[in-house]
Amino acid sequence: MVNYNTGINIFMDIAGGKWKGLILFFLSQQSVRTKEFYELIPGITQKVLTDQLKQLERDGLVRREIFKEVPPKVEYSLTDLGESFIPVLNTMCTWGNDYARLKGIAKEQQICCHQKES
């Protein structure tokens, strides 16, 4: 077990890195099938996606559901713990949008700051 000395250490271990935030962001909007992640997150490799989803599942933020169909369908969604991360995602999005406007790199439409649809 890792010996953490701050909450930031824990946060970065659980949700840090290039892809986890994006994975959680898209799952905060709706359940996502494995194949859909490649459309939502261009550039992510199969190995990295698989590893990140396994880590998020192990840490209790993501649920993996297998549907017994042919071909098999696998869908990911947020757990209750993962849902509790939505305000963090919203804060990150708001800060990113503010930064983009400050630096003059804002896009026409900023996407974020939402709640998961029921």
Q: What is the pLDDT of residues 38-94, one digit of tens each?
A: 999 999 999 999 999 999 999 999 999 999 988 889 999 999 999 999 999 989 888
Q: Reduce the DSSP state of residue 75 to 3 states and report it.
A: strand
Percentage of residues of the chain with pLDDT beyond 70: 87
Predicted local distance difference test score (pLDDT) of residue 118: 45
Predicted local distance difference test score (pLDDT) of residue 52: 97
Q: Are 113 and 69 in contact (CB under 8 A)?
A: no
Predicted local distance difference test score (pLDDT) of residue 116: 52
pTM of the complete model: 0.85
C-alpha to C-alpha distance for 48 and 25, rounded to whole angstroms: 17
Predicted local distance difference test score (pLDDT) of residue 110: 62
Domains, the chain: 9-103 (1.10.10.10)
Residue ranges of E strands in the chain: 32-33, 62-67, 73-78
The burial of 23, by beta-carbon neighbours within 10 Å (0-12 exposed, 13-18 middle, 19 or more buried), is given as buried
Predicted local distance difference test score (pLDDT) of residue 103: 87
- Per-residue model confidence as pLDDT tens digits over 11-30: 888 888 899 999 999 999 99
CA distances from 29 to 1, 97, 98 (A): 32, 18, 21
| Beta strand pairing call for 73-78 and 62-67 | antiparallel
